Amino acid sequence: MAAALSSQEEIDRQMSPSRWSPRFADPDQTIADHCSTLEKGSNQARAKLHCELNVPYRDGLTVDIVYPPSGKQKNKLMVYIHGGMWQFLSKALSLYPAQSFVDAGWTFAAVEYTLAPQANMDQIVQECTEAVTFVARRNPQCAVYVSGHSAGAHLAAMVMLSDWRAAGLNLKGCLLLSGLYDLEVVRQCYANAALQLTEQQVQQHSPTRRLEKESCSDACKTLKLHIVFAEHDPTAFRTQAQDFARAALAAGITATTIADVAGRDHFDVTEQLGQADYPPLQAFFADMERE
């Protein structure tokens, strides 16, 4: 488990990836550029691709689904969960990877969930699990994969650790980018003003702690798990990714792959999912084709 950080200032710095990007001197500019990039890619996907938008999966919450051209379907479904410290960003900014997946013959879906402080972590995790189940049942011919970035990677990992087989899901793999997998540091940082995490919720919703303290289901051991992080991620994010990978391997998820992406920061490590030649995406596709 990650070592404790030394001061409140350092905890907050570690939980502020915009302060670590070498591309911009101003953290606000880093975030503005990221949002602009996601918006541009998502708008292009909505304009060019076969989209089914704002499909309700529970009261007030929806998913967007993007389909490959007829005759090119591979019966694979990727469900993507956005980041934003569980309190920012949106489904509207989450279709930027769709082109790469559709070009590969995959169906792609983006999830909406209630943001903190309007929802706590219990509700957010439950909503994301319901959303993945809903999209999977809507596409019963597809093997299911989950992905997410930052807070979304945490939520995708929680879906992975849910009782998905009992829900009838044919879950096959996960692609997790620059995530947080132990929430204790989140409970201690500025973000907890909105999240109000308790010690009990940290234990319940920390994927690394779950794998270290609970037996991993036989179903979970069959998954292919790709854990990606960036050279210029905060040290705490890099450490958590490596700790989660070790916990997954120790728990019996033997098809666990870890990638440290050189030259990337917390934001462009996921923005590049819109590029079909992005090495972590190519590695993921190649691994999923070997099933």
Beta pairing, strands 107-111 & 143-149: unpaired
Q: Which two tokens stand for residue 28?
A: 């606000």
Beta pairing, strands 224-232 & 171-177: parallel
Q: H helices within 139-173, ranges in order?
A: 151-160
Interacting residues of 229 by C-beta distance below 8 A, sequence separation 6+: 177, 178, 179, 237, 238, 241, 242, 258, 259, 260, 261, 269
Residues with catalytic function: 150, 233, 266
161, 162, 165, 170: CA torsion to nearest 10: -70
Cβ-based neighbour number of residue 174 at 10 Å: 24
Q: Which two tokens stand for residue 214?
A: 């609970």
Q: Where are the beta strands (DSSP E) in the chain?
A: 50-58, 61-67, 76-81, 107-111, 143-149, 171-177, 224-232, 255-265
